[in-house]
């Protein structure tokens, strides 16, 4: 909660369970009151029309080809027809760029995928592997696209294909995503958790099974362990254990900007749950209308809120947090999402680890690390502990924790996270 009584998530999180009943049972045990929402999101393609305001098309954008400018639409359709004709000749893609070209063609790649990938991931598509895609990128049924091309513009505006695992999602009725985990810890033995301890790890001695850390209150402390389960970034774990050479992985940083406003809500905020922005002149890649999800303001009858996410390369220090906030406000106004005079609260924070980037060499690097770590009974799981974006949502990470415990205590195989090791290597 900020100083003005607005609650903010650290990004546009929504809760869905990927058909994981244990996870759903756990979060519903933690919190009784939930809102069930239907996704309503669109993509701003104003840059294709050389417009400054919003020009929204349904999500995912590859289904919205019929709403593109005529010349771009024609090229996209020809690319897709060509790929359909050559489907038997496909060569396994070496990277995400190859995968895009193979399935969508150069036009859609140039007008959307390349720039949106660069904006969110801060790397080029050819630097990413094609393994992570799964349910993260929608495929186009060609027949469905032809059907959409036959629709008139008004009918096209109403479509939401319900694609993806988050077509319907849950959100706590009050106080945001963090309330799930706070409530869960409050219902479990307090000695299991140590929150708010300001400490920094100095060294991990994997042979002696000790962790040295520094605490504000006690100074340097040695902690003995039998088995170590790490959920922090695996690159930091390698740094502290020194068990192998530094792991070659990439990640970016994300600035989260929250804007609290007095009502009335703008028309676009009333219509949608979130919006995507591929255009490189717009600082944010996603805008979430957070107060639509639950009670996230001092009074939802009087106030509403917008959450924006802006990704940067970890070495990009060309712009300050204050400058990003101001650019965000100006762009929200330019896109007719907010009015400046409505603003009553402004929140921002930097997530130094934003996205674990699925680089081409990621899986080989992770397997190399897990092989040496697990020999020393050190197990790394979670969004950055496991570093696999495709299994890094809340439900995935929660289940990774359960599954590694079940593996260690009961000998049961892990399902969610694959460490790249054979059973004999584990």
What is the rounded CA–CA span in Å between residue 157 and residue 179?
Answer: 35
> What's the whole-model pTM score?
0.92
Quickly state the pLDDT bin for 424 (edges 50, 70, 90). Answer: low
**Mean per-residue pLDDT over the chain, rounded:** 92
Q: What is the pLDDT of residue 252?
A: 99
What is the rounded CA–CA span in Å between residue 321 and residue 224?
Answer: 40
251 belongs to a structural domain: yes
Based on the fold, state whether residues 119 and 239 are members of the same structural domain. Answer: no
| Residue pair 13/177 in contact by the 8 Å Cβ criterion | yes
Based on the fold, state whether residues 41 and 136 are members of the same structural domain. Answer: no
Q: Which residues of 361-391 are buried (b: 16+ CB within 10 A; e: fewer)?
A: ebbebbebbbbebeebebbbbbbbbbbbbeb
Based on the fold, state whether residues 133 and 5 are members of the same structural domain. Answer: no
Q: Tell me which residue range forms the domain holding 134.
A: 62-157
Q: List, in order, residues 6 or more apart from 273 with CB less than 8 Å away.
A: 37, 39, 40, 41, 288, 289, 292, 293
Based on the fold, state whether residues 147 and 182 are members of the same structural domain. Answer: no
Q: For the segment 326-338, what is each residue's pLDDT rounded down to a tens digit?
A: 999 999 999 999 9
Whether the per-residue pLDDT at 246 is higher than 60: the answer is yes
Compare 425 and 285 and report the one with higher pLDDT.
285
Q: What is the pLDDT of residue 139?
A: 65
Whether the per-residue pLDDT at 162 is higher than 60: the answer is no
What is the rounded CA–CA span in Å between residue 162 and residue 425?
Answer: 41
State the total domains in the chain: 2
Whether the per-residue pLDDT at 408 is higher than 80: the answer is yes
The residue-averaged pLDDT of 66-71 equals 92
Based on the fold, state whether residues 404 and 334 are members of the same structural domain. Answer: yes
The residue-averaged pLDDT of 49-70 equals 91
How many residues appear in the chain?
426
Q: For the segment 342-385, what is each residue's pLDDT rounded down to a tens digit?
A: 999 999 999 999 999 999 999 999 999 999 999 999 999 999 99
Q: What is the pLDDT of residue 327?
A: 98
Q: For the segment 15-54, what is each residue's pLDDT rounded down to a tens digit?
A: 776 679 999 999 999 999 999 999 899 999 999 999 999 9
207 belongs to a structural domain: no
| Residue pair 403/415 in contact by the 8 Å Cβ criterion | yes
Q: What is the pLDDT of residue 164?
A: 56
> What percent of the chain shows pLDDT beyond 70?
93
The residue-averaged pLDDT of 394-413 equals 97
Q: What is the pLDDT of residue 135?
A: 60
Based on the fold, state whether residues 134 and 11 are members of the same structural domain. Answer: no
The residue-averaged pLDDT of 217-240 equals 95
Based on the fold, state whether residues 246 and 320 are members of the same structural domain. Answer: yes
CA distances 278 to 60, 216, 338, 397, Å, are: 12, 44, 19, 28
Structure tokens at 383: 């969004």
Please give the order of strands across the beta sheet that includes 210-215.
Answer: 199-205, 210-215, 219-224
Based on the fold, state whether residues 126 and 172 are members of the same structural domain. Answer: no
Structure tokens at 388: 């696999």
Q: What DSSP line would sit under 311-376, residue for residue?
A: EEETT--SS-HHHHHHHHHHHHHHTTS--GGGEEEEEEEEESS--EE-BTTHHHHHHHHHHHHHHT
Whether the per-residue pLDDT at 271 is higher than 60: the answer is yes
CATH no. for residue 20? 3.50.50.60
Based on the fold, state whether residues 144 and 176 are members of the same structural domain. Answer: no
Based on the fold, state whether residues 320 and 376 are members of the same structural domain. Answer: yes
Based on the fold, state whether residues 70 and 55 are members of the same structural domain. Answer: no
What is the rounded CA–CA span in Å between residue 47 and residue 59?
Answer: 16
What is the rounded CA–CA span in Å between residue 45 and residue 67?
Answer: 10
The residue-averaged pLDDT of 112-126 equals 96
210 belongs to a structural domain: no
Based on the fold, state whether residues 30 and 116 are members of the same structural domain. Answer: no
Helix (H, G, I), strand (E, B) or coil at 110: helix
Of the three residues 157, 177, 205, the one that is the final residue of a domain is 157
């Amino acid at each position: 909660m900020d100083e003005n009584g607005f609650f903010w998530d650290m990004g546009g999180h929504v809760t869905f369970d990927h058909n994981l009943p244990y996870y759903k049972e756990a979060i519903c045990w933690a919190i009784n009151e939930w809102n069930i929402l239907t996704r309503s999101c669109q993509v701003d393609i104003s840059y294709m029309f050389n417009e400054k305001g919003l020009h929204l098309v349904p999500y995912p954008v590859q289904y919205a080809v019929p709403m593109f400018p005529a010349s771009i639409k024609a090229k996209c359709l020809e690319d897709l027809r060509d790929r359909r004709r050559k489907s038997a000749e496909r060569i396994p893609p070496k990277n995400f760029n190859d995968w895009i070209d193979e399935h969508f063609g150069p036009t859609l790649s140039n007008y959307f995928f390349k720039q949106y990938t660069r904006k969110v991931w801060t790397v080029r598509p050819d630097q990413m592997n094609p393994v992570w895609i799964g349910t993260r990128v929608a495929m186009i049924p060609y027949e469905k696209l032809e059907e959409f091309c036959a629709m008139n513009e008004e009918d096209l505006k109403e479509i939401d294909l319900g694609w993806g695992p988050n077509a319907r999602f849950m959100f706590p009725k009050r106080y945001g995503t963090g309330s799930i985990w706070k409530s869960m810890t409050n219902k479990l033995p307090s000695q299991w958790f140590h929150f708010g301890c300001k400490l920094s790890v100095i060294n991990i001695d994997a042979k002696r099974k000790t962790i040295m850390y520094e605490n504000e209150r006690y100074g340097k402390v040695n902690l003995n362990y039998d088995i170590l389960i790490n959920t922090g970034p695996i690159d930091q774990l390698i740094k502290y254990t020194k068990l192998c050479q530094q792991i070659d992985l990439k990640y970016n940083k994300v600035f989260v900007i929250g804007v609290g406003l007095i009502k009335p809500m703008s028309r676009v905020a009333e219509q949608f749950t979130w919006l995507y922005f591929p255009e490189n002149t717009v600082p944010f890649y996603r805008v979430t209308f957070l107060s639509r999800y639950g009670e996230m303001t001092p009074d939802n009858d009087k106030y509403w809120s917008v959450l924006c996410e802006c990704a940067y390369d970890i070495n990009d220090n060309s712009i300050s947090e204050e400058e990003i906030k101001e650019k965000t406000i100006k762009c929200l106004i330019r896109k007719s999402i907010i009015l400046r005079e409505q603003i009553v609260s402004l929140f921002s924070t930097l997530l130094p680890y934003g996205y674990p980037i699925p680089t081409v060499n990621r899986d080989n690097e992770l397997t190399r690390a897990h092989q040496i770590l697990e020999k020393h009974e050190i197990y790394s799981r979670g969004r950055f502990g496991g570093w696999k974006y495709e299994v890094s949502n809340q439900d995935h990470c929660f289940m990774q924790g359960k599954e590694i415990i079940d593996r260690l205590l009961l000998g049961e195989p892990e399902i969610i996270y694959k460490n790249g090791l054979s059973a004999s290597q584990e």
